[in-house]
Amino acid sequence: MNLTPSAGFVKQSLSSHSWLGLMVGALMFMVCLSGTIAVFYPEFERWEQPRVQEFVNYDPAVIERAYHELVAGGVEVTEHMFVALPSPDAPRASISSEKEGWYINQDGSRGEKVNHEWTHLLINLHLYLHLPESFGMILVSALGAILCGLIVSGLLAHPRIFKDAFVLRLGGSRHLEQADIHNRLSVWSSPFQLMIAITGAYFGLAQLIAFALAGVYTNGNVEQLFERVFGAEPKLQQTLTPIALNKAITRVRAMAPDATPLYVTIEEAGTPQQYMLVGAQHPQRLIYAEQYRFDTAGNYLDKVGYSDGEPGRQVVFSVYRLHFGHFGGFAVKVLYFILGLALSVVSVTGFNIWLIKRKRRDFLNNVWVGFVWGAPPGLALSAIAQVLLGIPATAVLWLAIVVACAAAQWWNDELLAKRRLQIAGAVTIAALIVGYLIKFGAAAFIPVAIGVNASLLASAIVLLMMGYRKPAAVGSLATNHQIGGEPERTNAG
């Protein structure tokens, strides 16, 4: 029995793969790049505010007192109130409403106002592409679904893809070089890519999935389905008394001594129906946290069952950590960064291959180089604006990318544009580091700030080396045309 796909089937798969890749190339690149960086968003939040007092050991009674002092001080109580508890991965405490928040020092005194807007810009870019959230989430999730199609169609379109898994032809034909980079990175990281695609699609399409599952399990009642998965809200008859955070946190510590309480969410805050959700992370489990529920007085009600409930419920609450790599320690984050960077390169090389196959060049070649290589200086400029100058930076990011695209079109030379934008990225990142050291002084030398700045410095050095790297020898420019940032090389070159 011959299992080799027919030539017609391969051609159809290749055609669908190319059109899908073209349609989503630019958006996919931006989502992948921002997601790769956002793996380290807890570190970036701490980097943005290095003067905040950090600690792991705390007295729940002090946290409770700080909460009541904030409320008594006139802070508006919104429907949901949030208390972040110190943990080894995030050694800071904060209390927030839906509008504003403050860090809390170890003695319970109020610290800085929570303000890590650049990190939010990064996360918002990854989740919503800076579009209105309802639309942006659906679009990004659709990209995840399309990525699943790209992975499957890509594998089907290249019958020798696994046989050639270690073939990497660099320095010859530009087409072969880009195709080999695209295919090799796709093969080596395909399990990771598929996992990212599926979990990414889930976030925005959960509502549609819920409608489908409700028709099967709850006779079309979506609210009942959500209650089965996330737990029904408790029906309480209680006197509105000061919230007993100390009692609830202490009880969770006693019930689950190996777990780490991460947060307390006060639902229906300020009403007789208010109750507490204490989220505690269990060791050696992929779920983000188990949720223990308490009434206003701190009396234990129940737990949702993410740690030991039905398998489907456990899976749902494991998607977040699986997608962002927040499990298994810092080494897993580094692995996710490397694989995410590979996925970003796959997005770029896929578009480059399409450009090469056109056998001509026009403004699209220039704009693509500007878009890809304008992203690093754009992100650095947005951090300078937001972190150092306090200027809202979303417009700064996109304006920088537009300027990079316009400059690339003005230069009308992809290799020149690519090298200049790489150098611009290195310079702006260096300026960010210098400005950070000047603004924060001694606070810039806490371990997390040193780590982030060292990583930024390494990125600047890599970009600088790429920008000043001598191009490989090429054949006659009369027989080569610029594609994706470098002249297409002939075998003779």
User: pLDDT, tens digit, for every residue of 44-94?
Assistant: 999 999 999 999 999 999 999 999 999 998 888 999 999 999 999 999 999
Provide the 3-class DSSP secondary structure of residue 104: strand
3-state secondary structure of 233: coil
Q: Predicted confidence band at 479 (pLDDT cuts at 50, 70, 90)?
A: very low
Q: How far apart, in whole angstroms, are the C-alpha atoms of residue 441 and residue 312?
A: 49
* Predicted local distance difference test score (pLDDT) of residue 213: 58
* pLDDT score of 194 more than 70: yes
- Residue range 307-327: mean pLDDT, rounded: 79
Mean pLDDT of 201-230: 63
pLDDT (tens digit per residue) in 19-30: 455 557 788 899
Q: Which of 488, 23, 356, 162 is nearest to 154 (CA)?
A: 162
Q: Report whether pLDDT(481) > 90.
A: no
Which of helix, strand or coil describes residue 263? strand
Q: Is the pLDDT of residue 492 over 50?
A: no
Alpha carbon dihedral 440, 445, 450, 453, in 10-degree steps, equals: 30
Give the range among 207-211, 311-315, 382-386 with minimum mean pLDDT. 207-211
* pLDDT, position 37: 96
Per-residue pLDDT at 420: 96
Query: What's residue 202's pLDDT?
Result: 76
Average pLDDT over residues 223-230: 62
* Arithmetic mean of pLDDT, 306-331: 80
- Structure-token pair, residue 56: 């792991």
Question: In the prediction, which pLDDT does 485 show?
Answer: 39
- Domain regions of the chain by residue span: 1-49+128-231+328-357, 52-115+232-303, 360-493
Contacts 24+ apart (CB under 8 A), 360-368: 360/481, 361/414, 361/481, 361/482, 361/483, 363/409, 365/414, 365/482, 365/483, 365/484, 366/405, 366/408, 366/409, 366/411, 366/412, 366/414, 366/417, 367/405, 367/408, 367/409, 368/26, 368/484
Cα Rg of the chain, angstroms: 26
Residue 101: which of 58, 60, 39, 45 has the closest Cα?
Answer: 45
Lowest mean pLDDT among 194-198, 266-270, 340-344: 194-198
Q: In the predicted model, is pLDDT for residue 475 greater than 50?
A: no
Percent of the chain whose pLDDT exceeds 70:
79
Q: Among the listed ranges 100-104, 212-216, 255-259, 372-376, which one has the minimum average pLDDT value?
A: 212-216
Report the pLDDT value the prediction gives residue 489, as an integer from 0 to 100: 36
DSSP assignment of 26-94 equals HHHHHHHHHHHHHTTHHHHHHHH-TTS---S---HHHHHHHHHHHHHTTPPP-S-EEEEPP-SSS--EE
Backbone angles phi and psi of 293, in degrees to 5: -110, 140
Indicate if the alpha-carbon torsion angle 67, 72, 76, 77 is positive or negative.
positive
pLDDT over 60 (residue 442): yes
* The predicted structure's pLDDT at residue 476: 32
Return d(Cα 270, Cα 260) in angstroms, integer.
27
pLDDT at residue 384, as a whole number: 98
Residue 135 pLDDT? 86
Q: Where would I find the H helices in 189-265?
A: 190-217, 222-230, 245-255
When mean pLDDT is compared across 124-138, 306-320, 335-349, 443-457, the lowest value belongs to: 306-320
| pLDDT on residue 137 | 85
Q: What percentage of the chain exceeds 90 in pLDDT? A: 52
Taken as a whole, the chain contains a residue count of: 493
In angstroms, the CA 224 to CA 478 distance is 68
Which pLDDT does position 164 carry in this prediction? 60
- Which is more confident, 250 or 304? 250
Distance of CA 256 to the CA centre of its chain: 30
Q: How far apart, in Å, do the first and last CA atoms of the chain sit?
A: 44
426 vs 205 pLDDT, higher one: 426
For the cut 90, the answer to whether the pLDDT of residue 398 exceeds it is: yes
pLDDT exceeds 70 at position 275: yes
Please say whether the beta carbons of 200 and 340 come within 8 A: no
3-class secondary-structure state, position 166: coil
pLDDT at 181 over 50: yes
pLDDT classification of 167: cutoffs 50, 70, 90: low
C-alpha closest to that of 38 among 344, 260, 316: 344
Q: Angle 327-330-335 (CA atoms, 0-180°, nearest 5)?
A: 85
For residue 20 the two structure tokens come to 């899908």
Residue 259: pLDDT band (50, 70, 90) is: very high
Closest CA to 368 of 125, 35, 16, 27: 27
- Which of 93-97, 135-139, 202-206 has the lowest average pLDDT? 202-206
What pLDDT score does 191 carry?
82
